[in-house]
Structure 1
Amino acid sequence: MAIGLIILYWVLLIVMAAGIVGAFIPAFPGIGLIVIAIAMWGAIAGFTQSVIIALGIAIAIFALTTAIDYLAGYMGAKKVGASNWGQTGAIIGMVLGLLGLLPALPIGGPIFGLLFGSMLGAFVGEMLHRRDLALPARFKLGTKVSLAIVVSSLLGNVLAGLLSIIATGTFLVATWSNVMVPVLSNL
């Protein structure tokens, strides 16, 4: 096997490792990087049956994690009585936090801005929507909704991260014996 192909293999494994890390972090590319890396390997090294299976599993996991990302936040918010205002506020806050448009946090940068923005947006959304409640009840509901949205989203990210490990592992199982075993046997 050509040295260039082996170097590409390791570069794509590094991209997949970044995808695994990204899957655990909200709003960062995760499983998408893994799908792209597997597709690149197939396009360059050939779409063998094992690479096609690994790519199919990665695409299925991509679709599943996309659904999980959406449903985790939605179900967590609905479970504690969130309104559409709270959910919309969480999305707006997440985008503002990710872009750094909220007051700067002393640590964490965009990741904490993203979480803080989601919480703040959900809280503000619920406070604006539930004006029929007394202020202490609105405050309690807003706090509950903001925490539920963040916790459920984080749980969704953990699940997405675990699934991205499975996608990468499938690729390794499918390709390692054809790529690295010959190299290691020549050493």
Structure 2
Amino acid sequence: MLILTIIIMAIGFIGAIVPGLPGIGLMFLSTLFYGVFTQFEKISIGWIVVFGVLMLISFILDYLSSMVTAKKFGATKFGIIGGLVGAVVGAFILNVPGLFLGQFIGMLLGEMFGGKALKASVKAGFGGIVGYILGMTINISIAFFIMAIFLFKTLR
């Protein structure tokens, strides 16, 4: 059971980096199932609660980092919607590089559609990228912490 849980957690860790794959949520569920399966022998209910809280914090901070950063760089709802659409299309076409490029282009076009000048639209697009990188950094940090604690508790 431990090997399967570690494999699922590794997929979740990769998902914290690569869009389209389940990330922190999958890591949390794998620790929960491991805890239930082993009757919380090595991973206590307390740690499961900590992992659950970290998962919620990850979701909230991921959303807020993108939105707040984009707003700080002048993005409007047109840019945010364009960035979201562009990220999905870009990721579908070019995977991770397409995610960044698509988000930038989508936000730029969305801002221009909303009436902003090119310079302001580029600034908003850049803000979207900065916010995404900030959110990804938060997710990777939380994923690393969950994985490290899980491995420490189960492999000793």
The correspondence of residues 2-151 of structure 1 with structure 2, limited to 5 A, is 8-48=1-41, 50-100=43-93, 109-130=94-115, 138-151=117-130
Distance 2:20 2:59 in 1: 11
Q: How many residues align?
A: 156
SS of the residue aligned with 2:44? helix
Q: Is the 8 A contact 2:62 2:138 kept in 1?
A: no
SS of the residue aligned with 1:81? coil
Which of the numbers 143, 146, 150 marks the counterpart of 1:164?
143
Q: Is the 8 A contact 1:51 1:174 kept in 2?
A: no
Which of the numbers 123, 133, 153 marks the counterpart of 1:154?
133
Distance 2:17 2:130 in 1: 13
Distance 1:142 1:14 in 2: 42
**Highest relative contact order (Cα 8 Å, sep 6+), 1 or 2?**
1
Larger Cα-atom Rg: 1
Distance 2:144 2:32 in 1: 17
What whole-Å deviation, never above 9, does each CA across 1:153-173 have from its counterpart, x for those lacking one? 112101110111111222223
